[in-house]
Amino acid sequence: MSVPHLLLLTRTPPGYSGVGGVFLHDLCLAYPRDSIICFGILPSGYQGVSFDLNWLPFDSALLPNVQKMRGLGRFGVRASQFISRRWIYSYNTQEIVARIVEFARRYDVDMIWAVLNDPIMIRITKKVVSELNVRFVTTIWDPPERQLMDQGYDRFLRRKLLYEFAELLKAAEKCGVASRPMGEYYQKIYGIEPVVLIQAFREGIAKPVLRENTNSDQLVIGFAGSLYASQEWNSLLNALNQVDWQVDGRRVRIRVLGTSLSVNTKSSANIEYLGWREQDEVVKILSEVDVTYLPYWFSPAYDLSVRLCFPNKLTTYLAAGKPIFYHGPGHASVAQFMSRFPIGISCYSLDAQEIIAALSQLVENLPFYTNAIDSSREALEDELGRDTFLSHFAHLVGVSEEDLLY
């Protein structure tokens, strides 16, 4: 099986800090070095690839920011966004596409791997694929509907880009997806062959269980990453306020690791904020808590993302080796994952009593608690190990596993 000369198209440079950068970094390192190049369509402020990828042929282009004429009020903001998005969509992408095509031809690329992690990537990828007329595969982390909503695209461009997205998926050889439900969804709609590609935990960071805390007078809840599910987070704080931050006689403390923290409470709270840490340290710190907290949106506006996406913090939590307290809808991809691997307790409600009842089950039921720890290890090995990650990537791009650099 010959190794394709691969062009990686992305809005996130490999090695850039963040989950996406780590994801692409690890896969670039695994691919034969003389057979991959990367072009980044970058927002201002992004740097190039990380130092250990300095061998990777890399070129990039900056997209201008969407203009917002705030001095003219709400109408001015919307009008300026409307005009600048169309300029970026129709004209600026033509220049970028020409650069990408020239770059790809210089290195005799015969396959495109496009990460559709921004609406503009749909437009650019479609044009590049048409110009180069080579095989291509895609990777999707979030549904484009979510990206278009978050970025405030108008109705016309939303329809246009979703139509182009459908055309891309129907023509692609395979599609790397963030979860099994996402794969099933896109396969049913577009007939694409899905390949589940979830970021593996890094070898050596998984921690053994340090303590069970069965006789402790504290219940320590750990959280790491971006706190995007604010409604769910606030409902947890409200529930703890109602029981004076005690669950079955144990004093509750929340330990938070991340770049920011938002707290909205009128009562006393017991929150320890540790800021941003490297992944190895995050896992070590979380291995010393009693349970990790994973909130997900109940809002119908995020329903598609909840059903299709896979929160990458789950991998970090599993590596920490402690049970997970999932707080979100029962139809989410996380809930389906937990039905296969009993790695913790779930609460499908914002109601304070149900939240406390779920936490109480973890405190009271020692066999349940220890079984969740064992299941965490099983889930890591079966679904989120490096061998699985690289095996699925090899299938996505059409190479044998022996071709990759393990």
Q: What's the number of domains the chain is made of? A: 2
Q: Does residue 354 share a domain with residue 391?
A: no
Tokens 């970026």, residue located: 88
Per residue in 271-292, pLDDT (tens digit) is 999 998 887 899 999 999 999 9
Q: Does residue 18 share a domain with residue 127?
A: yes
Q: Does residue 398 share a domain with residue 344?
A: no
Q: Does residue 295 share a domain with residue 399?
A: no
Q: Does residue 36 share a domain with residue 78?
A: yes
The answer to whether 30 touches 23, Cβ cutoff 8 Å, is: no
Burial category of 77 from C-beta neighbours within 10 Å (exposed 0-12, middle 13-18, buried 19 and up): middle
Whose CA is closest to 130, among 75, 87, 167? 167
Alpha carbon distance 303, 308 (integer Å): 9
On the question of pLDDT at 135 being above 90, the answer is: yes
In the chain, what is the greatest distance between 2 CA atoms, to the nearest angstrom? 68
Predicted confidence at residue 80, as pLDDT, reads: 57
Beta strands, E only, 153-308: 174-177, 193-196, 218-224, 246-247, 250-257, 271-273, 291-295
Per residue in 239-275, pLDDT (tens digit) is 999 999 999 999 999 999 988 888 888 788 899 999 9
Is residue 205 situated within a structural domain? no
CA-CA-CA-CA torsion sign (262, 21, 316, 116)? positive
pTM of this structure? 0.85
Is residue 163 situated within a structural domain? yes
CATH number of residue 229's parent domain: 3.40.50.2000
Q: Does residue 141 share a domain with residue 113?
A: yes
Q: pLDDT band at 217, cuts 50/70/90? A: confident
Predicted confidence at residue 151, as pLDDT, reads: 79
Q: Does residue 391 share a domain with residue 377?
A: no
Is residue 213 situated within a structural domain? no
Q: Does residue 267 share a domain with residue 344?
A: yes
Per residue in 337-355, pLDDT (tens digit) is 999 999 999 999 999 999 9
DSSP-derived secondary structure letter, 89:
I
Tokens 């009693």, residue located: 290
The answer to whether 325 touches 313, Cβ cutoff 8 Å, is: no
The answer to whether 164 touches 120, Cβ cutoff 8 Å, is: no
Q: Does residue 89 share a domain with residue 29?
A: yes
Is residue 18 situated within a structural domain? yes
Q: What is the mean pLDDT of residues 111-119?
A: 94
Q: What is the mean pLDDT of residues 59-69?
A: 67
Q: Does residue 256 share a domain with residue 188?
A: no
Q: Which domain holds residue 57?
A: 6-200+385-403
Percent of the chain with pLDDT over 90: 60
Is residue 209 situated within a structural domain? no
